[in-house]
Structure 1
Amino acid sequence: MTLKLQRLGEDLIHEHICERYIELASRTESLKQDLGIFDRTRSDISIDIEPPPRTSKKRTKKKLPPTILDDRYNLTVEQSITSLHSNRDNSNSTTGYVLWSTTPFFLKWLLYDPQAISFRQGGIVDANVIYGMLKPSTGILELGGGTAGIMPVVLGNYVGTYICTDQRSLINRMQSNIKNNLLQLNKRRCVSKTLGFEPQFDDDEPAVNLETMPLDWEKFHLSHSTTPAELQPLAKCSTVYIVAMDVIYNDYLIDPFLRTLSLLLKFYQIKKYNTHCLVGIHLRAQEVVTEFLEKAVLEFDLPFSYIQSDSLDSSRFSLYFM
């Protein structure tokens, strides 16, 4: 199967949801039946973002130059299981204190899956122009990044700008985890006001501008006069990807998230950036996923498509592209 984009119009949303949950039901023995916390037994966890084992027995004497498919990342994250279950921390919004499985799954899919090559390098899929995500001309804005901070470190190796956001009470832990894993950001030098890494003007080494900033969906507003400087990618970036992994898990969050997403999309489109969005969802409550897609497509007029690929279709995750 080659990668396809299934445009989700009003008449296809329920058909799509039914197909995904029927597929899940057929794989109950092979898929984990949990909420999706990466590791709920430890506060200090290790995550390996590595390509799958090669199955080919063919050998070649010619040594090929390394590519993204050869890249490996070994990260450590300090998470707080206690805060996850607290009613006091972060105004009852505590899910960002732990690492959820959607993010490592997405990173492995994006970096290594043969069917994800259009998202790595750019291309045309079902008449949709996809601008390469892993390029120095790309800026990524992550919504609901949580404290783990592994996406900024891994993807910071390939892009020109990475802005990781979440609620204010999570930012310090996010920054700490990013700093603790900076040795894994080894392809580009990190420049960051919020992390305290100043640019070196006499250095021609490729750099990523990596910033963290608080962004509360319920309070977020945008105007030409009050736009935070951190939201404006470097001038060298021509493409913006807005990325959100596992932020849709209850109906209360749907409207604030979609309002924020719509404002950001309009802002970057007005600024003439090539703008895309990727939303990853861990398939839990069917009614929540259905409500999200219905509101996104019918109320907010967001032209989402479901990304169809073998590894996604056989997983507990769905990835939506716009």
Structure 2
Amino acid sequence: MSDIPSQNLGFVDSSAALINLTLADKDYTIHQSPTILLQARVESHGSHEAHIIAQLTTDEVVWKITPLVAEYLAGSGNILRSSGVLSSSSGVLELGCGISGLVGLAVAPTVERYVLTDQPYVARLVEKNINENLAVLSLKPSNSTSQKRKGRIPAGQPRASLRFAPLDWEKDEVTARLTGDDAKRSFDVVLACDCVYNEALIQPLVQTCVDVCRLRASDADAGGPAVCVVAQQLRDPDVLEGWIKEFHKHFQTWRIPEEALSEALRLNPGFVIHIGVLRDAT
């Protein structure tokens, strides 16, 4: 693996309240909260590097890597699709979705159900972004520019199953209620995108991944173990090492080869995707 690049946390445009993105020929409008970002608490450590210590700031804007991950995971040719990890029958739970819900907006139409989760304060903007982008959640393409622009879906036209549920990694209990469906008791895939940037978050994040994957044990209809997918832009070697050690305690772990990533992701030095299956689930 090449050296981890030294770089700041990267955002698409941290000063914009509204950003427009095009992924795989679909247009998305995302509302951000840059005023909260400007209130970030920052403290300096011995290395003189600034570290954001409030998760609040990172949740309120769109990371640069997020659109690239969303496009990759939604595509039909990636290794997660060809291996059957992601399919049209998959139930997906995303951890730390942030305000945009962009990965969910892109992936939800390609799976059976998708649940976005994050801190409760994120809910208002996530719901706003879901409603703003209803057109891309349509399971049938629309030729109407006005409907696409205004985010409407014609009456009776099916839409992807995408919802938000609050989940605090340190405080909340992981239960089957997260599915939002009495007939479903677990998820096929647990996804975390660019959530590993702070040592303090490592243990609660990994434990939450474990708890969600363990829902399969009480699901008589489950077809196999849940798969945990962690996509991240590597910024700090100490954080990466700490996460790998903690994750590997609980999960059999594989890394997606660089050549299996999209060209756009390969152009981002230090980007990796790891896949894990609970050790006690196999």
Q: CA deviation at 1:85?
A: 3.2
What is the count of residue pairs matched by the alignment? 243
Task: Give, in whole Å, the separation in 1 of the partners of 2:213 and 2:140.
Answer: 27
Q: CA deviation at 1:34?
A: 4.2
**1:20 is aligned to 2:16:** no
Is this contact kept in 2: 1:217–1:257, CA < 8 A?
yes
Task: Give, in whole Å, the separation in 1 of the partners of 2:190 and 2:202.
Answer: 16
**1:45 is aligned to 2:19:** yes
Match of 1:221 in 2: 173
Match of 1:74 in 2: 27
Task: Give, in whole Å, the separation in 2 of the partners of 1:238 and 1:34.
Answer: 36
The one-letter code matched in structure 2 to 1:43 is A
**1:302 is aligned to 2:266:** no
The one-letter code matched in structure 2 to 1:285 is D
Q: CA deviation at 1:162?
A: 0.8
Is this contact kept in 1: 2:187–2:212, CA < 8 A?
no
Instruction: Kindly provide the CA deviation profile for residues 220-247 of structure 1, in whole angstroms up to 9, marking residues without a partner as x.
Output: 324xxxx352336675899611111011
| TM-score, length-scaled by structure 1 | 0.68
Is this contact kept in 2: 1:86–1:92, CA < 8 A?
no
CA, structure 1 residues 76+206, in 2 after alignment: closer, same or farther (shift >3 Å)? closer
The one-letter code matched in structure 1 to 2:124 is N
What residue ranges of structure 1 are gaps of 5+ in the alignment?
1-18, 26-32, 51-71, 124-130, 190-199
Is this contact kept in 1: 2:18–2:32, CA < 8 A?
yes
Could you say what the CA RMSD is over the residues aligned between the two structures, in angstroms? Answer: 2.8
Task: Give, in whole Å, the separation in 1 of the partners of 2:140 and 2:187.
Answer: 18
CA, structure 1 residues 264+273, in 2 after alignment: closer, same or farther (shift >3 Å)? farther
Superposition pairs for residues 162-181 of structure 1, below 5 Å? Answer: 162-181=114-133
| TM-score, length-scaled by structure 2 | 0.76
Task: Choose the corresponding residue for 2:96, options 144, 160, 173.
Answer: 144
Instruction: Kindly provide the CA deviation profile for residues 102-148 of structure 1, in whole angstroms up to 9, marking residues without a partner as x.
Output: 2211122234485x1x322x43xxxxxxx24141x111101001111
Is this contact kept in 2: 1:144–1:244, CA < 8 A?
yes
Identity %: 27
Task: Give, in whole Å, the separation in 2 of the partners of 1:46 and 1:134.
Answer: 28
Match of 1:292 in 2: 243
Instruction: Kindly provide the CA deviation profile for residues 149-186 of structure 1, in whole angstroms up to 9, marking residues without a partner as x.
Output: 22222212111111100000111111001100111112
Is this contact kept in 2: 1:239–1:273, CA < 8 A?
no
Partner of 2:128, secondary structure, is helix
Q: CA deviation at 1:87?
A: 5.0
Partner of 2:115, secondary structure, is strand
Match of 2:151 in 1: none
Higher Cα Rg: structure 1 or 2? 1
Q: CA deviation at 1:303?
A: 1.2
Partner of 1:40, secondary structure, is coil
Is this contact kept in 1: 2:17–2:34, CA < 8 A?
yes
Match of 2:215 in 1: 267
Task: Give, in whole Å, the separation in 1 of the partners of 2:181 and 2:267.
Answer: 35
Match of 1:119 in 2: 80
Task: Choose the corresponding residue for 2:231, options 280, 286, 289.
Answer: 280
Q: Which has the higher contact order (CA 8 A, sep 6+)?
A: 1
Partner of 2:3, secondary structure, is helix
What residue ranges of structure 2 are gaps of 5+ in the alignment?
42-52, 142-154, 277-282
**1:319 is aligned to 2:281:** no
Instruction: Kindly provide the CA deviation profile for residues 43-67 of structure 1, in whole angstroms up to 9, marking residues without a partner as x.
Output: 21111112xxxxxxxxxxxxxxxxx
Task: Give, in whole Å, the separation in 2 of the partners of 1:20 and 1:270.
Answer: 41
